[in-house]
Amino acid sequence: MEKAKLSSALFAGTHFDRKRFSGVFARFRQGPSGPDVASANPSSAPSPEKKRKRKSKAKAKKNKKRRAEDADSASDAVEGFSVFKGLAAKKDEEDSEKKVETGKSEDSEVVRRRKEVEREIERAAILRKRFDIHISGQNVPAPLENFEELVSRYGCDSYLVGNLSKLGFQEPTPIQRQAIPILLSGRECFACAPTGSGKTLAFLFPILMKIKPGSKEGVKAVILCPTRELAAQTTRECKKLAKGRKFYIKLMTKDLSKSGNFKDMHCDILVSTPLRLDHAVQKRDLDLSRVEYLVLDESDKLFELGFVEVIDSVVKVCSNPSIIRSLFSATLPDSIEALARTIMHDAVRVIVGRKNSASSLIKQKLIFAGTEKGKLLALRQSFAESLNPPVLIFVQSKERAKELYKELAFDDIRADVIHADLDEEQRQDAVDNLRAGKTWVLIATEVIARGMDFKGVNCVINYDFPESASAYIHRIGRSGRAGRSGEAITFFTEEDKPFLRNIANVLISSGCEVPSWIKTLPKLKRKKHRVNRDPISTLPDED
């Protein structure tokens, strides 16, 4: 019941409905002799027929009033365009003029402005439809048509737009088109868009546009990421984008968190994992009371058990009443959204494509390998047939990552491994080596499943079946990024069959082929799938 209420509220105002507002547009065209001024006949007693007509007139009037109110809020939906500013004031003016000038036709300037509003609303709706952008929330600013609009509409410094073109970004991606105007107009935002679709820029750009560089008043923006690797990557991206201005952009390293002198440190933008940030706040008196932007990247992961209390405490210490919070992820389960909503204020929800779905650029395949040994054989066979590096292989634990690494070390393949037992430097080296092409195959646990942007990963292999549909979406999303195509192969054994249907649904919704027997498997209520697997080894079993 509560959920139904919540979801209906979330979807309110998703589409601009011309049919629904048609009465209002008609009103703008009508002269004062329209239905509003139609009079009743006071001399005659009401007949049942008249009563019915009067009742329906009253109802029509009521509906009209409601539509007029809706139309006003729809006009507001394009705020940010100067032409719409002061529209409410204009309407008041109009109303009083009407009283004086009853019988005269509506002022042509007002009609022109109304038509302009109508056109802008339509333009926004067309853009959203074209880029598969779905919104919910009141007064949502129109999406960007191009990056130049950041200058013409929002007064962005040309250096920042110049940096975009230096980075080779010519057109905004759909999430950038909608999320940037939302954040720039001071609104909070939930954003859900496919992996590799440019969410990082969507939250970095408004921050760089809005905060003053080099201020000595303390941290102005905090970006939280679930892993150190992602935090390091986001810091790098932020520095690239800010080139030409003296922003202090800091990554919260282990040392900084444990022994940083935050009172004397200049920092405009701080990128951190939740635990490190919390440690710095609790133990090193890091003051976050002036933070203007708080971003929770991979937000559903951040809200997962274990992090939620830390997030709660970070949200509390970011106590600036005018703070703008935003949540970004490729997956946003309803339960997490409901939880996150409790910390947000009047947030706009933006979904690009279908919520919780894989990037359409990835060709996905399921392969039955029978047993654990079967998986190793299938992997070797696949590499023997074609190895198109860089390749990422995901396994379910660090122990299994080490085991598979040992196995592949016997083969003539340049492989490396990354997992939580390695220190920070080793983990970063593994990532850098894959980026530089020194490594062809990187065996990984979930540590790099989210957010990591390795350009041109050609293939992701789920050696171990992922534990949930969202884990699957993020893992395979390491390929097929920034408009490039990719491939994802997922091995499954007998033990994985009960969970197959959940993953198969992701393939089906992206238009990939799935054997028909899998479609008939029952849906599993259980969300997580964790299997005790035999060790990865080609040695014969001891017994």
Ligand X SMILES: Nc1ncnc2c1ncn2[C@@H]1O[C@H](COP(=O)(O)OP(=O)(O)OP(=O)(O)O)[C@@H](O)[C@H]1O
Which residues form the interface with ligand X (CB under 6 A)? 169, 172-173, 176, 193, 195-201, 330, 451, 453, 455, 477, 481-482
- CB-side exposure of 504: number of CA atoms within 13 Å? 21
CA geometry: angle at 112 spanning 108 and 118, to 5°? Answer: 145
Give least dist CB 300 to ligand X, A.
11
Give least dist CB 186 to ligand X, A.
23
Place of tokens 């990591």: 452
Nearer to ligand X, 78 or 202 (CB): 202
Give least dist CB 359 to ligand X, A.
9
**Under 8 Å between Cβ of 227 and 273:** yes
Give least dist CB 437 to ligand X, A.
16
Picking from 380, 338, 356, 362, the residue whose alpha carbon sits closest to that of residue 491 is: 380
Give least dist CB 161 to ligand X, A.
12
Nearer to ligand X, 21 or 293 (CB): 293
Nearer to ligand X, 200 or 445 (CB): 200
Nearer to ligand X, 331 or 439 (CB): 331
Picking from 222, 251, 195, 241, the residue whose alpha carbon sits closest to that of residue 325 is: 222
Please count the other Cβ atoms lying within 10 Å of the Cβ belonging to residue 531: 13
Give least dist CB 137 to ligand X, A.
21
Give least dist CB 171 to ligand X, A.
6
Give least dist CB 233 to ligand X, A.
8
Picking from 302, 282, 284, the residue whose alpha carbon sits closest to that of residue 294 is: 302
Alpha carbon distance 159, 246 (integer Å) = 12
Residue 108's φ and ψ, nearest 5 degrees, are -65, -30
Nearer to ligand X, 375 or 478 (CB): 478
Nearer to ligand X, 125 or 482 (CB): 482
Alpha carbon distance 200, 527 (integer Å) = 28
Nearer to ligand X, 451 or 466 (CB): 451
In this structure, what is the dihedral angle of CA atoms 389, 390, 391, 392, given to the nearest 10 degrees?
A: 170
**Under 8 Å between Cβ of 536 and 380:** no
Picking from 171, 159, 233, 223, the residue whose alpha carbon sits closest to that of residue 197 is: 171
